[in-house]
Amino acid sequence: MTRDVATVSPDNTVDEAIERILDSDHNGFPVTDGRTVVGFISARDLLSADDGAPLFTVMSDDIIVAHPEMDVNDAARVILRSGIQKLPVVDDAGNLVGIISNTDVIRSQIERATPEKVGKLMRTLEEIHGVTASEDRREVELADLLPTQARVYADELEGRRYELERGLAEPLVVIDNPSASGEVEDDGRLVLADGHHRVMAAHRLGIEEMDAYVIAIADHVELGMEKTARKEGLQSITDIDVVDYARHPLVETTKRFQGDEA
């Protein structure tokens, strides 16, 4: 959930709420009296209301909320079945502690860096290379990462920026592959296995460290992803190309059809 929630007061007026919406990327706000949630005001609620009307006269006051301990999958079901866009999260006293949106739910379901995913990668490395591996979680320096993906997409960077700014980003997955030389001064590289879009978004925000699952290999092995990095000429995250949104393979735009007609 997002913990830093923009709210309005029941005594605010419709025109004040409209200004708040126009000056932000929100399409509605929880209405709070102090910390207590008393309703929700959406852009739809404001469309037919008088500009000077106080929000408590036009807000929805019987709204669906979630508890902080609710499972994210259950929150997804509530949002899907109710058709709402934002689900306020309240504690046992009815005080607002966060909010989760339908966008947040979608993000929670795709490209997840789960412990199960990390464990599967670790077991694969052990089976393929016959090595012993261990896993821990710590902060890593972005400057120490060896990327294994030559390009990222600009539209996804916007999504990852959103996650980073709201504390929603998943941890990276990196492989700590020791040096082949065995020399102390050559500690090997932290090979970035998952999280290239998150890394590039963080780099653009000036972030130097990120949370990561680190799979440490006991002895040096020649990883296929390191071969890919060499083939692509990748040595640091600054070597990753950012590809324009419209060239993303999952994106279709009307420009293509217009071009066909021309």
Domains of the chain: 14-108 (3.10.580.10), 111-247 (3.90.1530.10)
Left (φ > 0), alpha (ψ -120 to 50) or beta: where does 94 sit? left
β-pairing verdict for 145-146 and 189-194? parallel
111-156 confidence digits (pLDDT tens): 566 677 888 889 988 988 888 999 999 999 999 999 999 988 887 8
Q: Which two tokens stand for residue 188?
A: 């090997």
CA distance 56 to 64: 17
Least confident among 13-27, 111-125, 198-212, 232-246: 111-125
User: Measured between alpha carbons, how far apart are the two ends of the chain, in Å?
Assistant: 46
The identity of residue 184, as a single letter, is: V
User: How many C-beta neighbours within 10 Å does residue 181 have?
Assistant: 10
- For residue 81, CA distances in Å to 2, 76, 139, 235, 238 come to 21, 9, 38, 47, 43
Q: What's the chain's length in residues?
A: 262
Q: Per-residue pLDDT tens for 54-113?
A: 999 999 998 999 999 998 888 888 888 888 888 999 999 999 999 988 877 776 665 566
**Cross-strand pairs, 173:** 194, 213
pTM exceeding 0.85: no
Contact 110, 104 (CB under 8 A): no
